[in-house]
Amino acid sequence: MMKKLACVIVLAACGGTDDPSNPCPTGDCSIAARTTVKWTLNAYPERGFPMDSCNDFGVARIAVDIVDADGFATSGQDNCGNGQAVFSGLVPGDYTVYMMPLDLDGNPLLNGPVTGNVTAGDENREVTLNVPWDAWAGAADATGTFLFRISWGGMSCDATSVKNQTLTLTVNGVVQNLTTDDGQALNGSDKKPCKKLTDNFPQSALGVEFGLATLLVKGFDATDSMMFSKQFDTFVGAGITNPTLTFDVPLQ
């Protein structure tokens, strides 16, 4: 429980004087150590997904509270796109960090704050907090675009024995009964000619459920025998614009 809300501290400056002959009237013009809180939104690099943008959930600002062991808080806000809030001159010690994305009207966008820990000291310190996908108040209704390419042993399918492919996209445990822009169903039932890695545009699907996902890729040769198969852990980000993910099926 926070006992007291202290004033905002974002990069405090030293000294300050109208007397040019005495630039340090306080006697101390050392630069105070900075504690930086960085943030990411739905970042899952282990699943090949770098992160969502501030726009995807309408995040305007990020509010950060840094709370000491006695429950006293130092609070700050910054624009979401800045990627961080900086606190200067915190008393050395261990702090709990509370982070909340806000919309343009200052309303919280999560079911509860994201928390972490940081130790302030005499040197600059930083911590990065990621907002997990299921923390958003609107996560259950969110959808996104899934863009992807398939490679086979690092090569385009036309350089291998693979002629056809099936795709099964599962999000939050639910198989997606959707089709890609070029007409391939993503429920594993639709065998289609494999897509060249060198095609101008990736395969994509709109309105895919937002969240943790797996993609099962199967490759078939000219005799319709399944030759290669692999399931990938992946992620479907929110919003229309998402990065293109490449899934490489090993040829073994």
How many Cβ atoms are within 10 Å of 185's Cβ, its own excluded? 19
Are residues 26 and 89 located together in one domain of the fold? yes
| Cβ within 8 Å of residue 157, ≥6 positions away | 150, 163, 165, 194, 195, 196, 197, 219
Distance CA 168, CA 17 (A): 67
Are residues 88 and 21 located together in one domain of the fold? yes
Are residues 99 and 158 located together in one domain of the fold? no
Are residues 154 and 228 located together in one domain of the fold? yes
Q: Mapping DSSP to helix (H, G, I), strand (E, B) and coil, where does residue 157 land?
A: helix
Are residues 129 and 148 located together in one domain of the fold? no
Mean pLDDT of the region 196-206: 94
If one counts the domains in the chain, the total is: 2
What are the angstrom distances between the C-alpha of 89 and each of 12, 75, 126, 190?
Answer: 8, 13, 13, 60
Are residues 18 and 122 located together in one domain of the fold? yes
Half-sphere exposure of 7 (CA within 13 A, CB side): 5
Domain boundary, last residue among 89, 116, 133: 133
| Cβ(170)–Cβ(122) below 8 Å | no
* Banded model confidence at residue 9, pLDDT cuts 50, 70, 90: very low
Give me Rg for the CA atoms of the chain. 25
CATH number at residue 188: 2.60.40
251, exposed or middle or buried, with CB in 10 Å at 0-12, 13-18, 19+?
middle
Q: Which residues pair with 193 in a beta bridge?
A: 164
Q: Mapping DSSP to helix (H, G, I), strand (E, B) and coil, where does residue 206 land?
A: strand
For residue 201, give both structure tokens.
Answer: 């545009």
The pLDDT, as a whole number, for residue 30 is 67
The pLDDT, as a whole number, for residue 252 is 80
Say yes or no to pLDDT of 29 above 80.
Answer: no
How many Cβ atoms are within 10 Å of 115's Cβ, its own excluded? 12
Half-sphere exposure of 3 (CA within 13 A, CB side): 5
Are residues 9 and 107 located together in one domain of the fold? yes
| Cβ(97)–Cβ(85) below 8 Å | no
Tokens 């391939």 sit on residue: 184
Say yes or no to pLDDT of 34 above 90.
Answer: yes
Q: Mapping DSSP to helix (H, G, I), strand (E, B) and coil, where does residue 159 land?
A: helix
| Cβ within 8 Å of residue 178, ≥6 positions away | 169, 185, 186, 187, 205, 206, 207, 208
Q: What is the extent of the structural domain holding 201?
A: 142-249
> Residue 141: phi, psi to the nearest 5?
-105, 0
Q: Give the pLDDT confidence of 160-195 residue by residue, as tens digits.
A: 999 999 999 999 999 999 999 999 999 999 999 999
Are residues 124 and 147 located together in one domain of the fold? no
pTM metric for this prediction: 0.84
The pLDDT, as a whole number, for residue 249 is 97
Q: Give the pLDDT confidence of 12-26 residue by residue, as tens digits.
A: 333 444 555 665 665
Q: Give the pLDDT confidence of 142-165 residue by residue, as tens digits.
A: 999 999 999 999 999 999 999 999
The pLDDT, as a whole number, for residue 32 is 85
* Banded model confidence at residue 31, pLDDT cuts 50, 70, 90: confident
Are residues 129 and 172 located together in one domain of the fold? no
Are residues 85 and 126 located together in one domain of the fold? yes
Domain boundary, last residue among 80, 113, 133: 133
CATH number at residue 106: 2.60.40.1120
Say yes or no to pLDDT of 1 above 90.
Answer: no
Are residues 79 and 182 located together in one domain of the fold? no
For residue 103, give both structure tokens.
Answer: 């919309």
Say yes or no to pLDDT of 8 above 50.
Answer: no
Domain boundary, last residue among 73, 98, 133: 133
> Residue 126: phi, psi to the nearest 5?
-150, 155
Pairing of strands 114-120, 174-175: unpaired
Pairing of strands 34-41, 125-131: parallel
Are residues 43 and 146 located together in one domain of the fold? no
